[in-house]
Structure 1
Amino acid sequence: MRSYKNINVTKAVSILAVSALLSTTAYAGNDDSMFALGAKVGTAGVGIEGRAHIADNLYGRFGVNYLHYNHSLDKGSLNYKGKLTLLTVPLMLDYHPFDNSGFRVSAGIAYNGNKVTATAKPNKTVTLYGADYAPEDLGTVKSKLTLGSKIASIVSIGYDNSFISESSWSFNAEAGVMYSGKAKIKVSATGLAANDQEVIGDLNRDANKSLNKVKKYLKFLPIVSVGIKYNF
Protein backbone atom coordinates (compact mmCIF):
# COMPACT_ATOMS: atom_id res chain seq x y z
CA MET A 1 0.00 0.00 0.00
CA ARG A 2 2.23 2.77 -1.30
CA SER A 3 -0.02 5.57 -0.03
CA TYR A 4 0.86 4.71 3.57
CA LYS A 5 4.58 4.64 2.94
CA ASN A 6 5.34 8.32 3.47
CA ILE A 7 9.01 7.73 4.21
CA ASN A 8 11.41 7.70 1.27
CA VAL A 9 12.75 4.20 1.95
CA THR A 10 15.35 4.27 -0.82
CA LYS A 11 16.89 7.45 0.53
CA ALA A 12 16.91 6.13 4.11
CA VAL A 13 18.57 2.86 3.09
CA SER A 14 21.21 4.79 1.14
CA ILE A 15 21.99 6.81 4.27
CA LEU A 16 22.26 3.56 6.21
CA ALA A 17 24.70 2.10 3.68
CA VAL A 18 26.94 5.18 3.87
CA SER A 19 26.77 5.02 7.66
CA ALA A 20 27.86 1.38 7.67
CA LEU A 21 30.93 2.30 5.63
CA LEU A 22 31.74 5.11 8.02
CA SER A 23 31.53 2.70 10.92
CA THR A 24 34.93 1.26 10.02
CA THR A 25 36.49 4.49 11.29
CA ALA A 26 37.59 4.27 14.93
CA TYR A 27 36.53 6.89 17.45
CA ALA A 28 37.78 7.72 20.90
CA GLY A 29 35.07 6.66 23.34
CA ASN A 30 33.11 9.14 25.44
CA ASP A 31 33.53 7.27 28.75
CA ASP A 32 31.72 9.89 30.83
CA SER A 33 28.40 9.44 29.02
CA MET A 34 25.85 7.17 30.69
CA PHE A 35 22.74 7.78 28.60
CA ALA A 36 21.86 9.06 25.12
CA LEU A 37 18.48 10.53 24.18
CA GLY A 38 17.19 11.77 20.84
CA ALA A 39 14.58 11.87 18.11
CA LYS A 40 14.12 9.90 14.91
CA VAL A 41 11.78 9.57 11.94
CA GLY A 42 10.99 6.54 9.83
CA THR A 43 8.43 4.06 8.56
CA ALA A 44 7.15 3.46 12.12
CA GLY A 45 6.47 7.17 12.56
CA VAL A 46 8.10 9.98 14.51
CA GLY A 47 9.76 8.85 17.70
CA ILE A 48 11.94 9.49 20.69
CA GLU A 49 14.58 7.02 21.77
CA GLY A 50 16.96 6.48 24.69
CA ARG A 51 20.09 4.31 24.73
CA ALA A 52 22.34 3.08 27.53
CA HIS A 53 25.56 1.09 27.74
CA ILE A 54 25.13 -2.39 29.28
CA ALA A 55 28.42 -4.22 28.71
CA ASP A 56 31.31 -4.30 26.24
CA ASN A 57 29.84 -3.65 22.78
CA LEU A 58 26.30 -4.21 24.11
CA TYR A 59 23.66 -1.48 24.48
CA GLY A 60 19.98 -1.27 25.35
CA ARG A 61 17.43 0.93 23.58
CA PHE A 62 13.91 2.04 24.52
CA GLY A 63 11.61 4.31 22.54
CA VAL A 64 8.14 5.34 21.40
CA ASN A 65 7.03 5.84 17.78
CA TYR A 66 3.77 7.38 16.57
CA LEU A 67 2.06 8.31 13.29
CA HIS A 68 -1.55 9.12 12.38
CA TYR A 69 -2.61 9.27 8.74
CA ASN A 70 -5.94 9.57 6.87
CA HIS A 71 -6.52 7.99 3.46
CA SER A 72 -9.35 6.83 1.19
CA LEU A 73 -9.77 3.09 0.56
CA ASP A 74 -11.72 2.25 -2.57
CA LYS A 75 -10.56 -1.18 -3.73
CA GLY A 76 -13.85 -2.82 -2.70
CA SER A 77 -17.46 -1.99 -3.46
CA LEU A 78 -17.66 0.45 -0.53
CA ASN A 79 -15.60 3.63 -0.45
CA TYR A 80 -14.01 3.78 2.99
CA LYS A 81 -12.37 6.70 4.72
CA GLY A 82 -9.47 5.08 6.51
CA LYS A 83 -7.41 6.19 9.51
CA LEU A 84 -4.01 4.57 10.03
CA THR A 85 -2.55 4.75 13.53
CA LEU A 86 1.00 3.55 14.11
CA LEU A 87 2.00 3.23 17.76
CA THR A 88 4.96 1.09 18.82
CA VAL A 89 7.07 0.96 21.97
CA PRO A 90 10.23 -1.00 21.13
CA LEU A 91 12.75 -2.47 23.59
CA MET A 92 15.94 -3.44 21.78
CA LEU A 93 19.41 -4.88 22.38
CA ASP A 94 22.21 -3.55 20.15
CA TYR A 95 25.39 -5.55 19.64
CA HIS A 96 28.43 -3.93 18.01
CA PRO A 97 30.55 -6.76 16.55
CA PHE A 98 33.53 -4.46 15.91
CA ASP A 99 35.26 -2.45 18.61
CA ASN A 100 34.92 1.35 18.30
CA SER A 101 32.53 0.93 15.38
CA GLY A 102 29.02 2.34 15.04
CA PHE A 103 27.79 -0.67 13.06
CA ARG A 104 25.34 -2.78 15.05
CA VAL A 105 22.98 -5.74 14.80
CA SER A 106 19.83 -5.59 16.89
CA ALA A 107 16.92 -7.69 18.12
CA GLY A 108 14.03 -6.99 20.43
CA ILE A 109 10.31 -6.75 21.01
CA ALA A 110 7.76 -3.96 20.82
CA TYR A 111 4.32 -3.16 22.11
CA ASN A 112 2.27 -3.11 18.93
CA GLY A 113 -0.64 -0.66 18.85
CA ASN A 114 -0.78 -0.37 15.05
CA LYS A 115 -4.31 -0.38 13.64
CA VAL A 116 -6.56 0.88 10.86
CA THR A 117 -10.13 2.07 11.31
CA ALA A 118 -12.33 2.75 8.28
CA THR A 119 -15.84 4.14 7.85
CA ALA A 120 -18.18 4.01 4.84
CA LYS A 121 -21.63 5.57 4.51
CA PRO A 122 -23.11 4.72 1.09
CA ASN A 123 -25.59 7.19 -0.39
CA LYS A 124 -26.73 4.91 -3.22
CA THR A 125 -27.45 1.23 -3.81
CA VAL A 126 -24.35 -0.94 -3.43
CA THR A 127 -23.85 -4.39 -4.99
CA LEU A 128 -21.94 -6.85 -2.80
CA TYR A 129 -21.23 -10.24 -4.35
CA GLY A 130 -24.43 -10.33 -6.41
CA ALA A 131 -26.74 -8.78 -3.81
CA ASP A 132 -28.03 -5.20 -3.92
CA TYR A 133 -28.20 -3.13 -0.72
CA ALA A 134 -29.92 0.24 -0.37
CA PRO A 135 -28.26 2.91 1.81
CA GLU A 136 -30.76 2.26 4.62
CA ASP A 137 -29.88 -1.46 4.57
CA LEU A 138 -26.24 -0.79 5.42
CA GLY A 139 -26.33 2.57 7.21
CA THR A 140 -22.84 3.43 8.48
CA VAL A 141 -20.33 0.61 8.02
CA LYS A 142 -17.27 0.52 10.28
CA SER A 143 -14.25 -1.71 9.82
CA LYS A 144 -11.33 -2.12 12.20
CA LEU A 145 -8.04 -3.83 11.40
CA THR A 146 -5.83 -4.92 14.28
CA LEU A 147 -2.69 -7.03 14.26
CA GLY A 148 -2.54 -10.54 15.63
CA SER A 149 -0.23 -9.83 18.55
CA LYS A 150 0.23 -6.89 20.90
CA ILE A 151 3.87 -7.93 21.29
CA ALA A 152 5.81 -7.89 18.02
CA SER A 153 9.34 -9.07 17.30
CA ILE A 154 11.98 -6.90 15.59
CA VAL A 155 15.32 -7.64 13.94
CA SER A 156 17.50 -5.01 12.28
CA ILE A 157 20.94 -3.79 11.37
CA GLY A 158 22.07 -0.22 11.74
CA TYR A 159 24.56 2.41 12.75
CA ASP A 160 24.78 4.33 16.04
CA ASN A 161 27.89 6.13 17.22
CA SER A 162 26.52 7.31 20.58
CA PHE A 163 29.17 6.71 23.31
CA ILE A 164 31.75 6.18 20.54
CA SER A 165 32.03 9.60 18.91
CA GLU A 166 34.08 12.29 20.65
CA SER A 167 31.12 14.62 20.16
CA SER A 168 28.13 14.64 22.52
CA TRP A 169 25.90 14.51 19.44
CA SER A 170 25.54 11.24 17.54
CA PHE A 171 23.85 9.93 14.40
CA ASN A 172 21.85 6.71 14.02
CA ALA A 173 20.14 4.81 11.22
CA GLU A 174 18.32 1.50 11.09
CA ALA A 175 16.85 -0.99 8.60
CA GLY A 176 14.91 -4.08 9.58
CA VAL A 177 11.47 -5.61 9.94
CA MET A 178 8.81 -5.97 12.64
CA TYR A 179 6.61 -9.06 12.54
CA SER A 180 3.13 -8.37 13.90
CA GLY A 181 1.26 -11.59 13.26
CA LYS A 182 -1.90 -12.22 11.28
CA ALA A 183 -4.24 -9.24 10.94
CA LYS A 184 -7.84 -9.35 12.14
CA ILE A 185 -10.68 -7.36 10.56
CA LYS A 186 -13.97 -6.71 12.35
CA VAL A 187 -16.95 -5.12 10.59
CA SER A 188 -20.17 -3.65 11.95
CA ALA A 189 -23.12 -1.79 10.40
CA THR A 190 -26.00 0.36 11.68
CA GLY A 191 -28.53 -0.28 8.89
CA LEU A 192 -31.68 -2.41 8.68
CA ALA A 193 -29.64 -5.47 7.63
CA ALA A 194 -27.03 -5.05 10.35
CA ASN A 195 -28.11 -8.25 12.15
CA ASP A 196 -28.12 -10.39 9.02
CA GLN A 197 -25.04 -12.63 9.23
CA GLU A 198 -24.97 -13.10 5.46
CA VAL A 199 -24.77 -9.33 5.01
CA ILE A 200 -22.04 -9.04 7.65
CA GLY A 201 -20.16 -11.82 5.86
CA ASP A 202 -20.33 -9.90 2.56
CA LEU A 203 -19.17 -6.73 4.31
CA ASN A 204 -16.23 -8.61 5.82
CA ARG A 205 -15.18 -9.90 2.42
CA ASP A 206 -15.42 -6.40 0.96
CA ALA A 207 -13.46 -4.87 3.85
CA ASN A 208 -10.71 -7.48 3.44
CA LYS A 209 -10.47 -6.54 -0.23
CA SER A 210 -10.17 -2.83 0.59
CA LEU A 211 -7.64 -3.36 3.39
CA ASN A 212 -5.64 -6.16 1.80
CA LYS A 213 -2.54 -4.12 0.93
CA VAL A 214 -2.25 -2.34 4.24
CA LYS A 215 -2.88 -5.66 6.03
CA LYS A 216 0.15 -7.21 4.33
CA TYR A 217 2.23 -4.09 4.94
CA LEU A 218 1.53 -3.99 8.67
CA LYS A 219 2.09 -7.75 9.13
CA PHE A 220 5.75 -7.35 8.14
CA LEU A 221 6.29 -3.65 8.85
CA PRO A 222 9.56 -2.35 7.34
CA ILE A 223 11.61 -0.61 9.99
CA VAL A 224 13.71 2.12 8.37
CA SER A 225 14.69 5.24 10.30
CA VAL A 226 17.27 7.97 10.79
CA GLY A 227 17.83 10.09 13.88
CA ILE A 228 20.13 11.93 16.21
CA LYS A 229 20.93 11.61 19.92
CA TYR A 230 22.66 13.62 22.61
CA ASN A 231 24.92 11.92 25.16
CA PHE A 232 24.43 12.83 28.82
Structure 2
Amino acid sequence: MKHLLYLFMLALPVVATAQKDSLAGAVQATRPLPLYRPGFALMLSAGSTGGGVAVGYSVSRSVAVRVGANLFNYDGTLKSGKDTDDIQIGFDYTVKLKNADLMVDLYPFKRSGFRLTGGAYYNINTVTFFGKPTKDVKFNDTVFTIDEVGTLDGKANFNKVAPYVGLGFGNPYTRKRLKFMVDIGFFYQQSPLVTFRTTGMLEPSSDQGSVIQKNLEPLKYYPVVNLGLSYKL
Protein backbone atom coordinates (compact mmCIF):
# COMPACT_ATOMS: atom_id res chain seq x y z
CA MET A 1 0.00 0.00 0.00
CA LYS A 2 2.83 2.37 0.92
CA HIS A 3 4.55 1.62 -2.41
CA LEU A 4 1.40 2.58 -4.35
CA LEU A 5 1.15 5.81 -2.38
CA TYR A 6 4.79 6.68 -3.15
CA LEU A 7 4.23 6.02 -6.88
CA PHE A 8 1.14 8.21 -6.90
CA MET A 9 3.01 11.08 -5.20
CA LEU A 10 5.88 10.81 -7.69
CA ALA A 11 3.50 10.87 -10.67
CA LEU A 12 1.68 14.04 -9.60
CA PRO A 13 4.38 16.53 -10.77
CA VAL A 14 4.64 14.79 -14.17
CA VAL A 15 0.86 14.91 -14.70
CA ALA A 16 0.69 18.54 -13.59
CA THR A 17 3.50 19.54 -15.97
CA ALA A 18 1.86 17.70 -18.90
CA GLN A 19 -1.47 19.39 -18.23
CA LYS A 20 0.25 22.78 -18.05
CA ASP A 21 2.04 22.22 -21.37
CA SER A 22 -1.17 21.00 -23.00
CA LEU A 23 -3.09 24.05 -21.78
CA ALA A 24 -0.35 26.43 -22.99
CA GLY A 25 -0.37 24.76 -26.43
CA ALA A 26 -4.14 25.08 -26.69
CA VAL A 27 -4.02 28.78 -25.78
CA GLN A 28 -1.26 29.40 -28.35
CA ALA A 29 -3.19 27.53 -31.06
CA THR A 30 -6.34 29.60 -30.51
CA ARG A 31 -4.50 32.93 -30.25
CA PRO A 32 -5.22 35.04 -33.40
CA LEU A 33 -2.39 35.87 -35.76
CA PRO A 34 -1.03 39.42 -35.46
CA LEU A 35 -2.95 42.01 -37.47
CA TYR A 36 0.20 43.17 -39.25
CA ARG A 37 2.80 40.71 -40.56
CA PRO A 38 5.77 42.51 -42.23
CA GLY A 39 7.94 40.91 -44.87
CA PHE A 40 7.71 39.63 -48.44
CA ALA A 41 4.73 38.28 -50.39
CA LEU A 42 4.36 36.48 -53.72
CA MET A 43 1.44 37.43 -56.00
CA LEU A 44 -0.15 35.84 -59.08
CA SER A 45 -2.76 37.64 -61.19
CA ALA A 46 -4.81 37.44 -64.38
CA GLY A 47 -6.89 40.06 -66.16
CA SER A 48 -6.74 42.82 -68.74
CA THR A 49 -2.93 42.97 -68.60
CA GLY A 50 -2.68 39.20 -69.05
CA GLY A 51 -1.03 36.77 -66.70
CA GLY A 52 1.23 38.32 -64.11
CA VAL A 53 3.61 37.55 -61.27
CA ALA A 54 4.89 39.99 -58.64
CA VAL A 55 6.90 40.17 -55.44
CA GLY A 56 5.84 42.61 -52.74
CA TYR A 57 7.46 43.96 -49.59
CA SER A 58 5.80 45.68 -46.66
CA VAL A 59 7.70 48.86 -45.79
CA SER A 60 5.37 49.67 -42.89
CA ARG A 61 1.85 48.93 -41.69
CA SER A 62 0.38 51.33 -44.27
CA VAL A 63 2.93 51.27 -47.13
CA ALA A 64 4.07 48.41 -49.39
CA VAL A 65 5.89 48.16 -52.71
CA ARG A 66 5.76 45.49 -55.42
CA VAL A 67 7.59 44.67 -58.62
CA GLY A 68 5.93 42.54 -61.30
CA ALA A 69 5.74 41.46 -64.93
CA ASN A 70 2.78 40.72 -67.22
CA LEU A 71 2.32 38.96 -70.55
CA PHE A 72 -0.69 38.71 -72.86
CA ASN A 73 -1.21 37.95 -76.59
CA TYR A 74 -4.49 38.23 -78.47
CA ASP A 75 -5.35 37.63 -82.14
CA GLY A 76 -8.48 38.97 -83.80
CA THR A 77 -10.13 40.12 -87.02
CA LEU A 78 -12.15 43.17 -88.04
CA LYS A 79 -13.49 44.84 -91.17
CA SER A 80 -13.47 48.45 -92.28
CA GLY A 81 -16.66 49.76 -93.85
CA LYS A 82 -19.84 47.87 -94.72
CA ASP A 83 -20.42 44.75 -96.79
CA THR A 84 -22.27 46.91 -99.35
CA ASP A 85 -19.30 49.28 -99.85
CA ASP A 86 -17.40 49.13 -103.16
CA ILE A 87 -14.24 48.25 -101.26
CA GLN A 88 -13.99 46.70 -97.84
CA ILE A 89 -10.74 45.84 -96.07
CA GLY A 90 -10.51 42.86 -93.73
CA PHE A 91 -7.83 43.04 -91.05
CA ASP A 92 -6.05 40.37 -89.05
CA TYR A 93 -4.42 41.87 -85.97
CA THR A 94 -2.35 40.77 -82.99
CA VAL A 95 -2.18 42.57 -79.67
CA LYS A 96 0.98 41.84 -77.67
CA LEU A 97 1.13 43.13 -74.11
CA LYS A 98 4.54 42.81 -72.47
CA ASN A 99 5.36 45.01 -69.50
CA ALA A 100 7.02 45.25 -66.12
CA ASP A 101 5.64 47.37 -63.30
CA LEU A 102 6.70 49.06 -60.08
CA MET A 103 3.84 49.90 -57.70
CA VAL A 104 3.41 51.58 -54.31
CA ASP A 105 0.38 50.49 -52.27
CA LEU A 106 -1.07 52.71 -49.53
CA TYR A 107 -3.37 51.10 -46.94
CA PRO A 108 -5.27 53.96 -45.23
CA PHE A 109 -7.26 51.68 -42.90
CA LYS A 110 -5.59 49.29 -40.44
CA ARG A 111 -8.40 46.73 -40.41
CA SER A 112 -9.26 46.80 -44.11
CA GLY A 113 -7.66 45.42 -47.25
CA PHE A 114 -8.63 48.54 -49.23
CA ARG A 115 -5.64 50.25 -50.82
CA LEU A 116 -4.69 53.09 -53.16
CA THR A 117 -2.04 52.30 -55.76
CA GLY A 118 0.27 54.41 -57.87
CA GLY A 119 3.25 53.52 -60.02
CA ALA A 120 4.38 52.95 -63.58
CA TYR A 121 4.61 50.29 -66.28
CA TYR A 122 7.63 49.76 -68.50
CA ASN A 123 5.77 49.19 -71.71
CA ILE A 124 6.62 46.98 -74.70
CA ASN A 125 3.01 46.78 -75.93
CA THR A 126 2.45 46.53 -79.69
CA VAL A 127 -0.39 46.02 -82.16
CA THR A 128 0.44 44.50 -85.56
CA PHE A 129 -2.09 44.25 -88.40
CA PHE A 130 -2.44 42.99 -91.97
CA GLY A 131 -5.30 43.94 -94.26
CA LYS A 132 -6.56 43.14 -97.74
CA PRO A 133 -9.87 43.52 -99.61
CA THR A 134 -12.59 41.04 -98.72
CA LYS A 135 -13.77 40.84 -102.36
CA ASP A 136 -12.91 41.88 -105.90
CA VAL A 137 -13.40 45.56 -106.66
CA LYS A 138 -15.33 46.91 -109.65
CA PHE A 139 -14.32 50.36 -110.93
CA ASN A 140 -15.62 51.91 -114.18
CA ASP A 141 -16.79 48.53 -115.47
CA THR A 142 -13.36 47.05 -114.74
CA VAL A 143 -13.00 44.33 -112.12
CA PHE A 144 -9.82 44.19 -110.06
CA THR A 145 -8.92 41.08 -108.12
CA ILE A 146 -8.01 41.12 -104.44
CA ASP A 147 -4.32 40.73 -105.29
CA GLU A 148 -4.47 43.60 -107.79
CA VAL A 149 -6.07 45.91 -105.25
CA GLY A 150 -3.20 45.25 -102.85
CA THR A 151 -2.51 44.83 -99.15
CA LEU A 152 -1.81 46.93 -96.09
CA ASP A 153 0.30 45.92 -93.09
CA GLY A 154 1.69 47.86 -90.17
CA LYS A 155 2.49 48.18 -86.51
CA ALA A 156 1.51 50.41 -83.60
CA ASN A 157 3.96 51.15 -80.78
CA PHE A 158 3.24 52.89 -77.49
CA ASN A 159 5.26 55.04 -75.13
CA LYS A 160 7.73 52.99 -73.08
CA VAL A 161 6.85 54.49 -69.67
CA ALA A 162 3.17 54.50 -68.69
CA PRO A 163 2.10 55.96 -65.30
CA TYR A 164 -0.59 54.04 -63.39
CA VAL A 165 -3.23 55.00 -60.82
CA GLY A 166 -5.82 52.74 -59.28
CA LEU A 167 -7.30 51.15 -56.20
CA GLY A 168 -7.55 47.63 -54.93
CA PHE A 169 -8.65 45.19 -52.27
CA GLY A 170 -6.63 42.60 -50.40
CA ASN A 171 -3.72 43.08 -48.00
CA PRO A 172 -1.07 40.31 -48.13
CA TYR A 173 0.52 41.51 -44.89
CA THR A 174 -2.31 40.85 -42.43
CA ARG A 175 -3.44 37.65 -40.70
CA LYS A 176 -3.81 34.72 -43.12
CA ARG A 177 -1.00 33.91 -45.53
CA LEU A 178 -3.25 33.32 -48.58
CA LYS A 179 -5.31 36.29 -49.75
CA PHE A 180 -7.60 37.15 -52.66
CA MET A 181 -6.67 40.39 -54.45
CA VAL A 182 -8.36 42.81 -56.86
CA ASP A 183 -6.79 45.69 -58.80
CA ILE A 184 -8.81 48.30 -60.73
CA GLY A 185 -7.30 51.31 -62.51
CA PHE A 186 -5.66 52.41 -65.75
CA PHE A 187 -2.26 53.30 -67.17
CA TYR A 188 -1.59 56.11 -69.63
CA GLN A 189 0.59 54.99 -72.54
CA GLN A 190 -0.11 58.00 -74.81
CA SER A 191 -1.34 57.80 -78.40
CA PRO A 192 0.30 55.05 -80.47
CA LEU A 193 2.85 55.69 -83.19
CA VAL A 194 1.60 53.88 -86.31
CA THR A 195 3.86 52.81 -89.18
CA PHE A 196 2.60 50.83 -92.17
CA ARG A 197 3.07 50.11 -95.85
CA THR A 198 0.73 49.36 -98.75
CA THR A 199 0.95 47.60 -102.10
CA GLY A 200 -0.98 47.70 -105.37
CA MET A 201 -3.84 50.15 -105.74
CA LEU A 202 -3.82 50.84 -102.02
CA GLU A 203 -0.50 52.70 -102.24
CA PRO A 204 -2.09 56.14 -102.76
CA SER A 205 -3.93 55.65 -99.44
CA SER A 206 -0.76 55.74 -97.35
CA ASP A 207 -1.88 59.09 -95.95
CA GLN A 208 -4.56 57.14 -94.07
CA GLY A 209 -2.01 56.44 -91.32
CA SER A 210 -3.53 59.24 -89.27
CA VAL A 211 -6.95 57.56 -89.59
CA ILE A 212 -5.59 54.26 -88.27
CA GLN A 213 -3.80 56.08 -85.47
CA LYS A 214 -7.03 57.84 -84.50
CA ASN A 215 -8.88 54.51 -84.36
CA LEU A 216 -6.24 53.17 -81.95
CA GLU A 217 -6.19 56.31 -79.80
CA PRO A 218 -8.61 54.96 -77.14
CA LEU A 219 -5.86 52.50 -76.16
CA LYS A 220 -3.79 55.35 -74.69
CA TYR A 221 -5.88 55.00 -71.51
CA TYR A 222 -5.55 51.28 -70.97
CA PRO A 223 -7.96 49.85 -68.35
CA VAL A 224 -6.57 47.49 -65.73
CA VAL A 225 -8.86 44.95 -64.07
CA ASN A 226 -6.92 42.11 -62.48
CA LEU A 227 -7.84 39.34 -60.06
CA GLY A 228 -5.23 37.37 -58.16
CA LEU A 229 -3.89 35.59 -55.12
CA SER A 230 -1.13 36.58 -52.73
CA TYR A 231 0.90 34.39 -50.40
CA LYS A 232 2.81 35.81 -47.43
CA LEU A 233 6.31 34.34 -47.35
TM-score normalized by the length of structure 1: 0.72
| 1:222 matched to 2:216 | no
**Aligned residue number for residue 14 of structure 1:** none
Question: Match for 1:80 among 73, 88, 91?
Answer: 91
Whichever structure has more helix as a proportion of its residues is: 2
Is 2:171 aligned against 1:161? Answer: yes
**CA displacement, residues 159-191 of structure 1 (integer Å, 9 cap, x when unaligned):** 122111x221112111111111112221113x3
Structure 1 unpaired stretches of 5+: 1-26
Question: What residue number does 1:186 align with?
Answer: 195
Letter aligned with residue 51 of structure 2: V
- Which of residues 171, 183, 205 is equivalent to 1:174? 183
- Matches of 1:86 and 1:78, distance apart in 2: 25
Residue of structure 2 equivalent to 1:59: 64
Following TM superposition, by how much is the alpha carbon of 1:67 offset from its aligned partner in structure 2, in angstroms?
1.2
Structure 1 range deviating more: 65-74 or 48-57 = 48-57
Taking structure 1 as reference, are residues 124 and 171 closer, same or farther at Cα in structure 2, changes over 3 Å only?
Answer: closer
Residue 39 in structure 1 maps to residue 50 in structure 2: no
Q: 1:78 to 1:205 in 2, by over 3 A?
A: farther
Displacement of 1:143: 1.9
Q: Note if contact 1:78-1:126 (Cα within 8 Å) is conserved in structure 2.
A: no
In the alignment, the residues of structure 1 paired with residue 43 and residue 99 of structure 2 have an alpha-carbon distance, to the nearest angstrom, of 16
Shift of 1:113: 1.7
Displacement of 1:38 in angstroms is 2.1
Percentage of pairs with the same residue: 27
Report what 1:101 is aligned to: 112
Summarize the Cα distance change of 1:126–1:231 in structure 2 as closer, same or farther, 3 Å threshold. farther
Report the alpha carbon displacement of residue 100 of structure 1 after superposing the two structures with TM: 3.5
> How many pairs are equivalent?
192
What is the distance in 2 between the residues matched to 1:138 and 1:188? 14
Name the TM-score, length of structure 2 as normaliser: 0.72
Offset at 1:223? 1.1
Q: Give the 3-state SS of the residue equivalent to 1:109 in structure 2.
A: strand
Unaligned 5+ runs, structure 2: 1-32, 82-87
For CA contacts below 8 A with separation 6 or more, give which structure has more relative contact order: 1
Runs of 4+ in 1 over 6 A off after TM superposition: none
Larger radius of gyration: 2
